[in-house]
Structure 1
Amino acid sequence: MNYICPVCGHDGLEESAYNEYKLPSFEICSCCRFQFGDDDDVEITEGVFLSREEAHAVYRKKWIKDGAEIFQPEYYPLEFQVNGRVIKQHLVKQLKNINIDITK
C-alpha cells in the first residue's frame, strides 16, 4: 500500500508521513525530497516553529517554483516526468490528492 505525501501529493510513500500519534516517519518522499520529522521542524525565531502544515506549504511553494524536480526519478513513473521534473499536467493532478489547486 502506498501513502500520499502531504507536501507534493505523490502517492509513493511506503508508510504514512505521520502515525496515529502524529509522530513522523522520517521517510523521504521520492518525488519532492521532503523528509518527515526533519524538514517540518522549521524554527522561525528562537523557540517559535512553523506548524507542520505551514512548513509543508512553504516547502511545496519553493519546490514548485524551482520546477518540481523529482528527487529519485528512477522511482517515479516515466510517463509523468520530463528531464527529471514532474510534468505540469500531472503535477496539477498530483496536487489534487492533497486538495491543492495551482490552476487558480
Structure 2
Amino acid sequence: MNYICPVCGFESLLEPAYNEFDEASYEICLCCQFQFGVDDDVELDNGEFMKREDTLKLYRTKWLKDGARVFDPSDYPEEFQSDGKVKPEALRRQLKNINIVL
C-alpha cells in the first residue's frame, strides 16, 4: 500500500508521513523531495517552530514556483513527467489527492 504525500499529492510513500502519534516517518517523497521530520521542522526568528500545516504549504508553494521538479525521475512514472518536471495534467491529479486545485 502506498500513501499520499501531503505536500505534492503523489501516491508513493511507503508509510504515512505522520503516524497515529503524530511522529514523522523521515521518508523522502520521490516526487517533491520533502523529508518528513526534517523539512517540516522550521524554526522562526523568535525561537518558536512553524506549524506543520504552514511548512507543508510553504514548501509546496516553492516547489510549484520552481516548476514542480521531480526529485527522482527514475522512480517517478515516465508518462507523467517531461524534462524532469511533473506534467500539468498529472500535477492537477496529484494535487487533487490533497484537495488543492490549481
TM-score bin, normalised by smaller chain: over 0.9
TM-score, structure 1 as length reference: 0.95
**Which amino acid in the other structure matches residue 32 of structure 2?**
C
Query: Can you give the 5+ residue segments of structure 2 that lack an aligned partner in the other structure?
Result: none
Question: Partner of 1:49: helix, strand, or coil?
Answer: coil
The CA distance in 2 between the partners of 1:50 and 1:89, in whole Å, is: 31
- Other-structure match for 2:37: 37
Question: How many matched pairs?
Answer: 102
**CA deviation digits over 1:41-78, x for unaligned, max 9?**
01122322111110000000000000000000111111
- Other-structure match for 2:99: 99
Query: Can you give the 5+ residue segments of structure 1 that lack an aligned partner in the other structure?
Result: none
Structure 1 stretches of 4+ with a deviation exceeding 6 A read none
Question: Partner of 1:89: helix, strand, or coil?
Answer: helix
**CA deviation digits over 1:1-58, x for unaligned, max 9?**
1000000000000111000000000000000000000000011223221111100000
- Other-structure match for 1:49: 49
The CA distance in 1 between the partners of 2:14 and 2:41, in whole Å, is: 21
- Other-structure match for 1:72: 72
- Other-structure match for 2:12: 12
RMSD: 0.7
